[in-house]
Amino acid sequence: MPRTYRVAILGATGAVGAELLALLESRQFPIADLKLLASPRSAGKTLDFCGESLPITAVESGCFKDIDLVLASAGGSISKAWLPEAVAAGAIAIDNSSAYRMDSTVPLVVPEVNPEAAFTHQGIIANPNCTTILMSVALWPLHQLQPIRRVVVSTYQSASGAGARAMEEVRLQAQAILNGETPVSEVLPYPLAFNLFPHNSPLDANGYCEEELKMVNETRKIFGVPDFRLTATCVRVPVLRAHSEAINLEFDSPFDLNLARQVIANAPGVQLLENWDTNYFPMPIDATGKDDVLVGRIRHDISNPNGLELWLCGDQIRKGAALNAVQIAELLATGSPTGDRESVSAASGATSGAAS
């Protein structure tokens, strides 16, 4: 009999929490028991899973007893407050917040890129930022063939990156504008419907916002290249779900276009989507609800003989968050990147004790 696991979802009522539930069911992750954790205001409500109505429990001391695996998506402060207790109780935590991503003792994992890193954990594994995940999956196969020397990326990030409330706010703003009314902004700092603005995360002294620096620092850690040259400009756009990225790559020598398309088409977690005759390339509506990162419009940079341009779209809630976390859980459940299913707890030896 294959091993089954006692799983807890921390932040079960959010947009990513809902996607985690759907993915655990559709991918048939071997669950013996599922515990749904959220804030006290959600306690007593229920969510459906595999035909059952499961109660939501308030996160509190002792709630991680007898849990093997915690999928956390409730924000950095919640992860910092509760994941050490989960690890001390013997669970492994896969954290979707930014709380532990740059902790040197915590692996930052994209299964298509660095699956082996998952097995170096000390109780916590970090899920990268959504834009970093989408970009990494697309760039890694190219980087493996010809090392990338520099990346210039501009992101076009949907409301889903700010959560379910932001998505609903954009819907209400659009309706208000169409009715000739003034749109109201409560979740996002400015109206997003029929508008766009630079990403609203805090600005660093160097002029880059937190979201842009996440892409730089996280990619360096995932790729294992501390001085990887990357610059990013992140923009919030009036799209409900799925992020887009325009990426300029520089190599030491020209990269053959046919080879680039072949590499992308054959890469795990990526789908090549381009029709030059009809000018059809990946769009958010194509990527919404899809597991794969859609890549297209691959072309040479006419300003640089060693440059390559590409465009991608990916579902921020799915591959950019929930799916990546479930894939990490599946890695642990198999015992190795290519091994047979084993105990999650045995994936890297003992995991109890301090988180980091």
DSSP string, 234-287: EEE-S-SS-EEEEEEEE-SS---HHHHHHHHHHSTTEEE--BTTTTB---HHHH
Contact 276, 257 (CB under 8 A): no
Please confirm, yes or no, whether 130 is among the known catalytic residues: yes
Which of the following is catalytic: 121, 143, 199, 243? 243
Task: Provide the phi-psi class of 10: left if phi over 0, else alpha when psi is between -120 and 50, else beta.
Answer: beta
Contact 170, 256 (CB under 8 A): no
Contact 126, 217 (CB under 8 A): no
Contact 102, 40 (CB under 8 A): no
Contact 74, 38 (CB under 8 A): yes
The CA distance from 263 to 138, in Å, is 10
Contact 217, 149 (CB under 8 A): no
Task: Provide the phi-psi class of 235: left if phi over 0, else alpha when psi is between -120 and 50, else beta.
Answer: beta
Compute CA distances 231 → 170, 242, 250, 327, whole Å. Answer: 29, 21, 12, 28
Which of the following is catalytic: 130, 143, 199, 234? 130
Contact 124, 104 (CB under 8 A): no
Contact 64, 91 (CB under 8 A): yes
The CA distance from 292 to 40, in Å, is 35
Contact 142, 232 (CB under 8 A): no
Contact 282, 244 (CB under 8 A): yes
Residues acting as catalytic residues: 130, 243
